[in-house]
Structure 1
Amino acid sequence: MRRSLGRYELTHELGRGGMGVVWAARDRDNGREVAVKLLAPRGYGSELTTLERRFLREARLTSRLNHPGIPVVYDHGSDDGELYLVMELVPGRALDAVLKDEGALDVERAAGVAQGVADVLTYAHGQGVVHRDLKPSNLMITPSGEIKVLDFGVAAALEPRPGETRFTAANATPGTVVYMAPEQAVGRTVPASDLYSLGCVLYELLAGRPPFTDGSLFMLYHQHANEPVPPLSGHRPGIPTGLTKLVAGLLEKKPEDRPGSAAEVRALLAAWVPAPAETGLTHPRLAEVAALRRSGRPAHALEEYQELLATPGLGRADFLAARVGAALCAGALGRSREALDELKSVLAEQRSLLGPADAAVLDTRYEIAVLLVRTGERHPAVELLRRLADDEERFLVADDPRRSRSRALLKRLDRMT
Structure 2
Amino acid sequence: MLRAVAPGASIDGRYSLGRFPLAHKGMGEVWPAQDTLLKRPVIVKFLDAAMMDADLLRRFRREALLTASLVHPGVPIIHDLGEHAGRPYVVIEKINGIALSDLVAEQGPLPIGWVAAIGAQISSVLLAARRLGLVHRDIKPSNVMLETSGAVKVLDFGLAVALDDERFSRITETGQSLGTVGYMAPEQILGERPDHRTDLYGLGATLFDLLTGRAPFDGVTTATTVRHQLDTAPPRPSELRPEVPAALDDLVHALLARHREDRPATAADVYAVLAPLCEDLPAIPGVLDETAEEVRGYCAIVGRVPRPARSEPSAGEQTDLDPERDLRHAEQLHAAGQFRAAARHLRRLAEDRARQHGDDDPLVFDLLRRAALAHVALGEHDRALRQLNQLLRSRIQADGPEHPAVLDLRQEIARLSQERTASPPSPRQPPGADR
TM-score by length of 1: 0.64
Q: 1:131 to 1:13 in 2, by over 3 A?
A: farther
Asked if 1:135 corresponds to 2:81, the answer is no
User: Does the CA contact (< 8 Å) of 2:136 and 2:199 recur in 1?
Assistant: yes
CA distance in 2, matches of 1:217, 1:224: 11
2:223 is aligned with 1:218: yes
Q: Is the 8 A contact 1:52 1:78 kept in 2?
A: no
- Contact 2:7 / 2:18 at 8 angstroms: preserved in 1? no
| Cα shift readout 1:167-199 (whole Å, capped 9, x = no counterpart) | 559824321112100001223211110000000
Greater helix proportion: 1
* Cross-structure match for 1:119: 124
Q: How does 1:1-400 map to 2 (within 5 A)?
A: 1-4=6-9, 5-6=11-12, 7-13=14-20, 15-19=22-26, 20-42=28-50, 44=51, 48-152=53-157, 154-156=158-160, 171-187=175-191, 188-274=193-279, 320=294, 350=297, 354=300, 356-358=302-304
- CA shift, 1:232, in A, is 1.9
| Preserved CA contact (<8 Å) 2:145 2:153 | yes
Unpaired runs of 5+ residues, structure 2, are 1-5, 283-289, 309-346, 353-429
Distance 1:193 1:89 in 2: 27
1:139-178 deviations in Å (ceiling 9; x for gaps)? 11111100011112x113799x99xx98559824321112
Report how far residue 37 of structure 1 moved: 2.0
Q: CA deviation at 1:216?
A: 2.8
Counterpart of 1:93 in 2: which secondary structure? strand
Question: 1:28 corresponds to which letter in structure 2?
Answer: T
Kept in 1, the 8 Å contact 2:234–2:256? The answer is: yes
Indicate how the Cα distance of structure 1 residues 126 and 169 shifts in structure 2: closer, same or farther if over 3 A, else same: closer
Q: Percent identity?
A: 36
Are the equivalent residues in 1 in contact too, given 2:218–2:225 (CA < 8 A)? yes
| Structure 2 CA distance for aligned equivalents of residues 379 and 33 of structure 1 | 34
* Distance 1:414-1:227 versus aligned 2 partners, 3 A rule: farther
1:145–1:80: structure 2 CA closer, same or farther, 3 Å change rule? same
The CA distance in 1 between the partners of 2:113 and 2:153, in whole Å, is 18
State the AA in 1 paired with 2:303.
A
User: Residue 82 and residue 58 in structure 1: after superposition, are their counterparts in 2 closer, same or farther (change >3 A)?
Assistant: same
Say whether the 8 Å CA contact 1:12–1:25 is kept in structure 2.
no
How far did residue 88 of structure 1 move? 1.0
Q: CA deviation at 1:357?
A: 1.6
User: Rg bigger for which structure?
Assistant: 2
Once the 2 structures are TM-superposed, how far is the Cα of residue 316 of structure 1 from its aligned partner? 7.7
| Maintained 8 Å contact 1:40/1:81 | no
Q: Return the offset for 1:222.
A: 2.2
* Secondary structure, counterpart of 1:70 in structure 2: coil
Q: In the alignment, is the contact (CA less than 8 A) between 1:77 and 1:84 conserved in 2?
A: yes
How far off its partner does 1:379 sit? 6.6
Matched residue, 1:295: none
Counterpart AA for 1:265: V
Distance in 1 between residues matched to 2:126 and 2:21, nearest whole Å = 25
Partner of 1:35: helix, strand, or coil?
strand
C-alpha RMSD of the superposition: 3.5
Q: Distance in 2 between matches of 1:275 and 1:123?
A: 27
How far, CA to CA, are the matches of 1:15 and 1:158 in structure 2?
28
CA–CA distance in 2 between the matches of 1:215 and 1:172? 22
Structure 1 unaligned residues grouped into runs of 5+: 278-314, 321-347, 363-377, 384-411
Partner AA of 1:255 in structure 2: R
Aligned 8 A contact 1:207 1:232 in 2: yes
2:75–2:154 CA contact under 8 A, matched in 1: yes
How far apart, CA to CA, are the structure 1 residues paired with 2:141 and 2:185?
15
Partners in 1 of 2:215 and 2:225 — Cα distance?
11
Alignment TM-score, normalising by the size of structure 2: 0.61
d(CA) in 2 for partners of 1:217 and 1:82? 33
Question: Structure 1 counterpart of 2:182, which letter?
Answer: V
* Conserved? CA contact 1:54–1:157, under 8 Å: no
